[in-house]
Chain A
Amino acid sequence: MIKKAVILILSLVLLLWGMEKGYDFFMKRNVNLKSSFVSNHRIDAKVLFLGPCQTLWMMEPDTFQKYTGLKAYNLATVHANFAESKVMLWLYLRVNKAPQYLFLYVSGESVDGSFTVFNTYNFPQFMDEPWIRDVIKEQDPAFYRYSFIPFMKYAYYNEFVNFNLVQGVKHTLAGKEIPYFANGYVHPHDVVWDGRLERFKAENPQGRTFKWKPEEIKNLKDLVNMAKKNNIRLVLYESPMLNEVKPFLANRDEIKNKISSFAEENFVDYWVFDTMKISNSRTCFFSILNTNDKGSAIFNKVFAEYFNQWNQIKMYPKLSK
């Protein structure tokens, strides 16, 4: 029995090691997995959009390109915090030329950190990179502890990973090179009004107070430095939000001022689009912070025109009040 047990343990370790290598291989070849795609394919966009779902679902690079003539790519991922955005930019810069402009979504929600996370399962295939290992160690220590056991880096979040693996196998066999969302933008056409505003109001009758979390700011600062190091013109921006919710954001002005001071200290621009007319009506939103198809079309046009104006006059626009 001992012999059998030893054989079992050895074969298990060997199989897990082999599976880990197999997952590494196929995950890196999944073109629909944005982290894998941008680190393996030349995009060479002039403009990048970075941030969580507010960017992913709202910033349409083709519209931007139509109005500005600059090739754009949406590098955002769902719920991404600044650390995840930092890793995405790092992966992008591995094989791509640095963009001229980088637009990074910053708001009270993102500096608070309660609404954004580091989605570790987007990056296990890159854990052979010491820099990424360090970020993961800091962002997800529980995962990091187990990642030394063979295959555990995939086992830990397997419910998010297995589909990507299957897709990776399919893409490898089919030789697929173009992702489903070619310019990185994910179109939220299926989303209807989610009704979370009512829940938010009920949960925060006195209004929600956002925190200025040092760990989030540290990662934001890292992003600023990464942009500077690569000669990228960084612009922090906040997309429109539904006006109905503003009375329930207790320290919104205070946070905006802090972001503004941060931008000034670091010599980056800060654009806030919270005075647009679309913010008055639910018809342009499917959630508090996400515009729907109609709202996004208007916002993207305004954003591109604002960019053209700003780019033409070559001076900093006044910060929105």
Chain B
Amino acid sequence: MQFISSAFFCALPVVFLLYLLTKPKYRWMVLLAFSLLFIGWNRPYSLLVLLLFSTITFYCGLLIQQFKNRATLIYVCAIALQAGCLILLKSVESGQSGLRLVVKDEGYKTDMLVVVAGFSVYTLQHMAYLTAIYRGRIQAGTQLFRFLLFSSFFAKFNSGPFEEPETLIPQFRLPVIRREMILQGVHRIVLGLFKKMVLADRLAPIVSAVFSGESDTGSCTAISAVCLFTLQLYFDFSAYSDIALGTAKLFGIELSENFNRPLLATSVSDFWRKWHMTLNRLFSTYVYYPVVYLLRRNGKAAVLAGIFSTFLISGVWHGIGKTFLVWSLLHGCYLSAEYLTQKTRQKWIRIVPAKLYRVLCISTTFILVCFSNLFFRSEDMDHARHLLSQFASSPFSGKGVMLGYVSVLAGGGYEEALFNFAVTVALVLLFLSFEKGIHRRIQQSDNGFVQLFILLIAVVTFGVFENAGYFIYLQF
């Protein structure tokens, strides 16, 4: 089942009512039943894989805790199993595995994705869970079904946010639903629908026209498309998180925020503190800090090693391929350069006026992130190289897809294309200008009705309804 689907929006009110009518101490059972239905809907194999891996993880956690003398062996085996399966899955998805030959059906990729939906999200959480037990940070759970709910909780199942058991499992025990939580939840869901259907999906055809084509586009179109992809990715993924947080809130469960206006980040490290926050927290806790700690006697090299190892693992988590490798190395280089030039930049702050410095920092960060996203979005390195070559071409040469939208101003093209392009740009700019206020009003539950109303009207007036259920991050 997908978030933006008639099945989900029909089931949600029914499950919510059932949840309200159930005694608080049994409510987690309703959540578990719906979560399993959510996962098993049209993809029963996915549910079986989840049950298998969750059970293994649960009992491994217990074994690590009980058999202290063999804890390391059990821990290493359990992590190797999960990490191995995850890497295997990623290599199948990237078409770099022999499995492609075994499964002769042309739709192998789709089939594999159906079988293992949400796999990379819950295995990462499982590994974090086992590590936390191994290090003695938390106690192993004793209730299998509560742990199963932690793994399968529908709101975060497909693409996060990534939660740690100690923050989520206690919330299942006696969930309390307050009036303002319902309103905030609904508001957050509608905000997610707005970001996805009105902003991300209106940008999608413009971006796809450039990234899917092989013809020459001219630098103007190529650069614009790369920048617009960053916006699309942000709206698409943060929309998913909004819907996840909103639906969880309806059921009295607080999930962690995943985004905090990352497009206004003033440095790449600031960007990573505001983008996909839960995944980065996980990687920081379980990769970055342990590596830095391990190499702490090597001074700056320890930090650099921590940065690169974190991003290499993050790259592999997103997919096995050269494009993700380049993407992760680029971010490693950005952060390393930022770390090494800290003192120099401190001097600039004193020289350049504060506001100008902030604008420069935000623009530079945005450009750097956009550049790395070129590799993130490209099918392969040839495709990325082709787009890069377009950067160096004449601004208006070739088939300027982007220019097609505005060519009517020069006497050609179609007014309709210009109209739709202008509406999209206006909506994006309007949203970015009011984003902070929109989030503030969601928190003020009693003052949000007008905003909720406007967002709903915007969704039905400007939203793209076709393929709205597909989110970019579902492929990871």
Contacts and interface: CB of A to CB of B under 8 A. Distances in A.
Contacts, number: 48
Per DSSP, chain A at the interface is: helix
Nearest to A150: B460
Contacts of A155: 460-461, 463, 465
A158 B201 CA distance: 12
A4 interface: yes
Interface string B188-209: 0000000000000010000000
Nearest to A16: B460
Contacts of A182: none
Contacts of B456: 12
B202 A159 contact: yes
B111 interface: no
A195 B423 contact: no
Nearest to B462: A158
Interface in A6-46: 8, 11-12, 15-16, 19
Nearest to A189: B412
Most buried by A among B412, B445, B449, B465: B465
Given A8-B449, A11-B453, A166 B419 contact: yes
Contacts of B416: 163
A152 interface: yes
Contact of A162 (B215, B452, B461): B461
A251 B460 CA distance: 45
Nearest to A7: B449
Interface string B416-453: 10011001000000000000000000000110010011
B380 interface: no
A158 B461 CA distance: 6
Contact of B420 (A1, A152, A163): A163
Contacts of B354: none
B472 interface: no
Contacts of A159: 202, 420, 462, 464
Interface residues of A, number: 22
A1 B187 CA distance: 14
Given A12-B456, A190-B413, A1 B464 contact: no
A146 B6 CA distance: 10
A157 B463 CA distance: 9
B457 interface: yes
Contact of A163 (B413, B419, B463): B419
Nearest to A1: B179
Interface residues of B, number: 24
Contacts of A158: 460-465
A151 B215 contact: no
A190 to B, nearest CB: 5
A156 interface: yes
Contacts of B179: 1
Contacts of A190: 412-413
A8 B452 contact: yes
B133 interface: no
A162 B457 contact: no
A155 B462 CA distance: 7
A1 B183 contact: yes
Given A163-B415, A163-B420, A190-B412, A151 B453 contact: no
B462 A162 contact: yes
Interface in A141-177: 146, 151-152, 155-159, 162-163, 166
Contact of B453 (A8, A146, A157, A163): A8
Interface in B122-141: none
A166 B461 CA distance: 13
Nearest to B413: A190
Contacts of B460: 16, 151-152, 155, 158
Nearest to A165: B461
Contacts of B465: 146, 155-158
Contacts of B446: 1
A12 B460 CA distance: 11
A5 B187 CA distance: 12
A121 to B, nearest CB: 11
A104 to B, nearest CB: 26
Contacts of B183: 1, 5
Contacts of A5: 183
11 contacts: A4-B449, A12-B457, A15-B457, A146-B465, A152-B460, A155-B460, A159-B462, A162-B423, A163-B416, A190-B412, A195-B215
Q: 8 tightest CB-CB pairs across the interface, nearest first?
A: A155-B460, A163-B416, A163-B419, A190-B412, A156-B465, A1-B179, A4-B449, A8-B449
Given A158-B460, A162-B461, 8 more contacts: A152-B460, A155-B465, A158-B462, A158-B465, A162-B419, A163-B415, A163-B416, A195-B215
Interface of A: 1, 4-5, 8, 11-12, 15-16, 19, 146, 151-152, 155-159, 162-163, 166, 190, 195
Interface of B: 179, 183, 202, 215, 412-413, 415-416, 419-420, 423, 445-446, 449, 452-453, 456-457, 460-465
